Amino acid sequence: MDDLIEDFIAETRETLEALTSQLVEWERRPHDRALLDSVFRFVHTVKGSCGFLSLPRLLRLSHAAEDVLSAARDGKVEVSADLVTAVLAVIDRIAVLTEALDTGVSVYDDDEALTDAVRKHLRGKAEDLVTGSVEETAEALASEDSQLRGKSRTVRVSLNLLDNLMSGVSDMVLARNEVSRQLRKVGSNADLDISFARLSSSVAELRDAVGMMRMQHIDKLFSALPRLVRDISIELGKEIELRIDGSEVEVDREMVEALRDPLTHILRNAADHGIESADERRAAGKDPAGHIHISARQSGNQIVIEIVDDGRGINVDKLGGRAIAANVTTVGEWQKMSLRSQLNMIFTPGLSTADSVTSISGRGVGMDVVRNNLQAIGGTIELENHEGHGLKITLRLPLTLSIIAGLSVRAGSQIFGIARSSVVEMVSTSNPNVKFEELGGRKIVNIRNKRYPVKSLEDILGIAKGAHIPGDSRTLIVMRPAVGTTFVLEVAAVIDNEELVVKPGAPLVMGNGLFAGTSLPDNGRPLLLLDASGLGAAMGLSATDREDREIDSTADVESKSNGPSALLFIASDGRKQAIRLSAIERMEDIDVAQIQYVGGRTRVSADGGLYDLWEYESAPDDGLVKVLKLSDGDSACYLAVGDVMDIFSITGDIVPSAHPEQHEGVVYAFGEPVELLNMFAFFETSDRRRRNRGSEALCFIDCSEDAQWERTILAPLLTASGYAVSFDERDQSHAAIILHRDVAKAREQANDPRTLHLRDSNHSLSEPIASIYRYDGAGLISAIEEKLAGRV
């Protein structure tokens, strides 16, 4: 709401500025129609916004002015000098109040005198006395105006300018990459490298800042919804309460626009079909007022929006009836479908369970459009139906429209991009777990006993395969598109893993449905992004995912019985090793410049964070280090590797290792014994602070105001170990640990189990009670941990 008010202030201020000259002009020529119109437009806009933002004073003022001006426009009221003066007084007051909204200064409320003065004209008898006083007030206020005017904190910028800035920055990033390539060619020069690094980092900062400029509170989208629901509920005669959470979540500016229609659709459906009439609700034992709850949150790199209503939900049987009647499915098929697939029939074009078409919804042009709109921006929609109790719709959207994690793949002699979100796994055709089969002429691939339809990208696109070198393996990519069946795409090779900036393609290019857009990677050669669903469709696979889910679930059981998967790789020292696949987030190449030895450990700065890098030996010639990004769910770290070989499933026993802290054990991969890395160590030492943050144990340090040792030595030690530190006596009562150095106090507080006494000397003899030497850091931390453990 604050944002809206800020916008309102900025907008009103802006229009007022533009209006000033016209107001003066209007005073001189009160009968000029064009001027009258623009003044009317202004008060009308202010009235509209104020009603929405619930600003009653501004509403009353603008309403009065609007009434008179509207009458003047219709010729019902003579535009006299008095009327102009009265209206100007009102506009001045609107200006003062608007500024007051910003500065928070209160303005004396004699609005009634102003509105009365205006309304007098409606009754056709202006009173000189009142207008006189108004004039005075207006002047007085005008002089105050300059003092009240607050500093503007926002600037309105045209979208074109913003887009220009963004493309300018992308140009700059490309230019920087080009310079970086040139520099690498020329060879190293320390001074130049430092200057370039500085340039590089400011370009990166600039890009981030511009990225932020694209972000907008989702409130921009949500703020219009209460009004929408109110209008619908009045029209339908239902009482509906709308609750909105998570308005502060930030989304891409374009996303706000792209979401507007789908969300409006969903909300209309919920209000119209979902929520029953008050009588029906009472009969069902529900609160007569319907509830709709909309919430938004950010989860990883996704935005999740949930729309929950407590209406009647979807009547699945009725939906089935409609689907069968519309020849979308047959009775037999319907009965064999899973509940989820049945529910997903709601997305079929032209289907609706509504009994009657209302002006709001029920024409059957809803959910399919909603789903298509969402897919266009890379989102998904899920339904959770509780028949009789309500429906929950979950929308999942990518964080930004423009940047996706992608893979570049080669087909023939050309490079294409694929969104990583649709890739399940990649295997080499030379992998012994891969078998090619055939079914009625269609190629099928069998990967670890799961069968998928397969086609080469070259065949789908109709391009030449290029010379095939015997013995040369190709790569199979298991793809699961947002809609449609999982399939396997065969490509010549997977080139790289990179962040791709998606640019929309021209309609001519997108027309064949195979491409999702274009992108310009760092090498400056444009790339076509493949559309996973479109590829599936081009392979002649059905676009519905009816039985797909069930197949998947059985397949999952199968793969579980096969044992967990692991990745075989060549370690930095040249030996073959294996690591559990589940811990690998992704594989990437990082620049040597990102690697630093700081804080006693080799670290990688990536994605704005600092991560540990393990097993890094030396910088390779090409300046790129192959790494695996590992994650334990909370924290991440990198593991440098020589090369990645293949995925295999761990079967049979894991033979114990002689060094369990390094290797979980020895497993067989493709008939060869290899060490299975123990990842425990990577995460165990990773950042003690992060692990302890959850405990939030508060340490109160009992010392005098100027105790230097406590403040400069002890407090940082505790903070670094993950404890909150306080010197405030008010915190003493709820602190988990109390630390002090004062012998006198030690006796008083000896009974408090939370107390730890620190002594100045290394010898404990002179002290009367149990204590810890104050420079025994490890001893102190373990004593705190013991105390905490004892307490819990």
Partner 1 sequence: MTNILYLIADLAGSLVAIESSQVESIVHLPDVVPVPNCDPSVAGIFALRSRVLTLIDTQFHITGVQKIAPKGALAVVTEIAGHQYGLLVDKVHDVVPMTIEHAESKIRPPAVWNPYVEQIATHGGELVMILNTEALVSGQTALAA
The nearest distance, CB 399 to partner 1, in angstroms, is 21
Enter the tokens of residue 517.
């857009």
Residue 174 within binding range of partner 1, rule CB under 8 A: yes
Closer residue to partner 1 in complex, CB, 504/779 = 504
In angstroms, the Cα distances linking 266 to 225, 312, 361, 508 are 11, 15, 10, 32
Among 155, 186, 506, 789, binds partner 1 (CB under 8 A): 506
Q: Work out the number of other CB atoms within 10 angstroms of the CB of residue 579.
A: 24
Among 528, 650, 715, 738, binds partner 1 (CB under 8 A): 528
Q: At a CB cut-off of 8 Å and minimum separation 6, what does 165 contact?
A: 210, 213
Closest CA to 448 of 606, 304, 555: 555
Among 434, 520, 624, 666, binds partner 1 (CB under 8 A): 520
Residue 23 within binding range of partner 1, rule CB under 8 A: no
Judging by DSSP bridges, how do beta strands 414-419 and 527-530 pair with one another? Answer: parallel
Q: Work out the number of other CB atoms within 10 angstroms of the CB of residue 213.
A: 13
Angle between the N-to-C axes of helices 253-269 and 225-236, in degrees from 0 to 180, rounded to the nearest 10:
20
Closer residue to partner 1 in complex, CB, 350/504 = 504
The nearest distance, CB 221 to partner 1, in angstroms, is 23
Closer residue to partner 1 in complex, CB, 226/504 = 504
Among 37, 127, 171, 617, binds partner 1 (CB under 8 A): 171
For 687, counting Cβ atoms within 10 Å of its Cβ (0-12 exposed, 13-18 middle, 19+ buried), the class is: middle
Site string for partner 1, 262-301 (x = CB under 8 A): ----------------------------------------
Using CB under 8 A as the binding criterion, the count of chain residues that bind partner 1 stands at 29
Distance CA 483, CA 767 (A): 74
DSSP structural state of residue 151: P
Distance CA 759, CA 767 (A): 8
The nearest distance, CB 407 to partner 1, in angstroms, is 17
For 716, counting Cβ atoms within 10 Å of its Cβ (0-12 exposed, 13-18 middle, 19+ buried), the class is: exposed
Enter the tokens of residue 371.
């789903």
Residue 132 within binding range of partner 1, rule CB under 8 A: no
Distance CA 155, CA 790 (A): 57
DSSP string, 191-250: HHHHHHHHHHHHHHHHHHHHHHHTEEETHHHHTTHHHHHHHHHHHHT--EEEEEE-TT-E
Residue 527 within binding range of partner 1, rule CB under 8 A: yes
Distance CA 461, CA 136 (A): 78
Residue 507 within binding range of partner 1, rule CB under 8 A: yes
**Interface region with partner 1, contact rule CB under 8 A, candidates 13-21, 41-49, 81-89, 503-511:** 503-511
Residue 237 within binding range of partner 1, rule CB under 8 A: no
The nearest distance, CB 266 to partner 1, in angstroms, is 27
**What is the phi/psi pair of residue 704, to 5°?**
-80, 165
Closer residue to partner 1 in complex, CB, 190/508 = 508
Closer residue to partner 1 in complex, CB, 283/509 = 509
Enter the tokens of residue 362.
């029920």
Residues 619-638 that bind partner 1 (CB under 8 A): none
Locate all alpha helices (DSSP H) within 300-422, ordered by sequence: 316-325, 331-336, 339-344, 367-376
The nearest distance, CB 507 to partner 1, in angstroms, is 7
Q: Work out the number of other CB atoms within 10 angstroms of the CB of residue 56.
A: 10
Among 38, 170, 375, 726, binds partner 1 (CB under 8 A): 170
Closer residue to partner 1 in complex, CB, 247/414 = 414
Closer residue to partner 1 in complex, CB, 244/403 = 403
Closer residue to partner 1 in complex, CB, 207/396 = 207
Distance CA 372, CA 353 (A): 19
Residue 165 within binding range of partner 1, rule CB under 8 A: no
Enter the tokens of residue 435.
């078998």
Q: At a CB cut-off of 8 Å and minimum separation 6, what does 537 contact?
A: 484, 513, 543
The nearest distance, CB 55 to partner 1, in angstroms, is 38
The nearest distance, CB 539 to partner 1, in angstroms, is 13
The nearest distance, CB 172 to partner 1, in angstroms, is 9
CA angle 13, 16, 20 (to 5 degrees): 145
The nearest distance, CB 600 to partner 1, in angstroms, is 41
Residue 540 within binding range of partner 1, rule CB under 8 A: no
Distance CA 219, CA 595 (A): 40
Residue 504 within binding range of partner 1, rule CB under 8 A: yes
Return the residue matching tokens 């010379």: 467
**Interface region with partner 1, contact rule CB under 8 A, candidates 190-198, 291-299, 500-508, 658-666:** 500-508
Q: Work out the number of other CB atoms within 10 angstroms of the CB of residue 7.
A: 16
Residue 515 within binding range of partner 1, rule CB under 8 A: yes
Residues 435-464 that bind partner 1 (CB under 8 A): 460-463
**Interface region with partner 1, contact rule CB under 8 A, candidates 442-450, 506-514, 708-716, 717-725:** 506-514
The nearest distance, CB 522 to partner 1, in angstroms, is 11
Closer residue to partner 1 in complex, CB, 24/376 = 376
Residue 516 within binding range of partner 1, rule CB under 8 A: no
Among 223, 431, 518, 577, binds partner 1 (CB under 8 A): 518
Residue 430 within binding range of partner 1, rule CB under 8 A: no
DSSP structural state of residue 600: T
Closer residue to partner 1 in complex, CB, 515/682 = 515
**What is the phi/psi pair of residue 424, to 5°?**
-90, -55
Residues 543-572 that bind partner 1 (CB under 8 A): none
Residue 541 within binding range of partner 1, rule CB under 8 A: no
The nearest distance, CB 640 to partner 1, in angstroms, is 32
The nearest distance, CB 464 to partner 1, in angstroms, is 10
Beta strands, E only, 328-389: 380-386
Give yes or no for a contact between 438 and 453, defined as CB atoms under 8 angstroms apart: no
**Interface region with partner 1, contact rule CB under 8 A, candidates 88-96, 102-110, 511-519, 766-774:** 511-519
Residue 489 within binding range of partner 1, rule CB under 8 A: no
Distance CA 174, CA 192 (A): 19
The nearest distance, CB 409 to partner 1, in angstroms, is 14
Burial 639-670 (b: 16+ CB within 10 A, else e): bbbbeebbbbbbeeeeeeeeeeeebbbbbbbe
Handedness of CA 29, 31, 37, 39 (dihedral sign): positive
Among 388, 511, 660, 753, binds partner 1 (CB under 8 A): 511
Angle between the N-to-C axes of helices 367-376 and 253-269, in degrees from 0 to 180, rounded to the nearest 10:
160
**Interface region with partner 1, contact rule CB under 8 A, candidates 73-81, 490-498, 516-524, 726-734:** 516-524
**Interface region with partner 1, contact rule CB under 8 A, candidates 32-40, 84-92, 133-141, 513-521:** 513-521
Q: Work out the number of other CB atoms within 10 angstroms of the CB of residue 218.
A: 25
The nearest distance, CB 192 to partner 1, in angstroms, is 25
**628 forms bridges with which residues in the sheet?**
587, 639
The nearest distance, CB 196 to partner 1, in angstroms, is 20
For 243, counting Cβ atoms within 10 Å of its Cβ (0-12 exposed, 13-18 middle, 19+ buried), the class is: exposed
Closer residue to partner 1 in complex, CB, 461/725 = 461
The nearest distance, CB 509 to partner 1, in angstroms, is 5
Residue 505 within binding range of partner 1, rule CB under 8 A: yes
Interface ranges with partner 1 (CB under 8 A): 167, 170-171, 173-174, 414, 460-463, 503-509, 511-512, 514-515, 518-520, 524-528
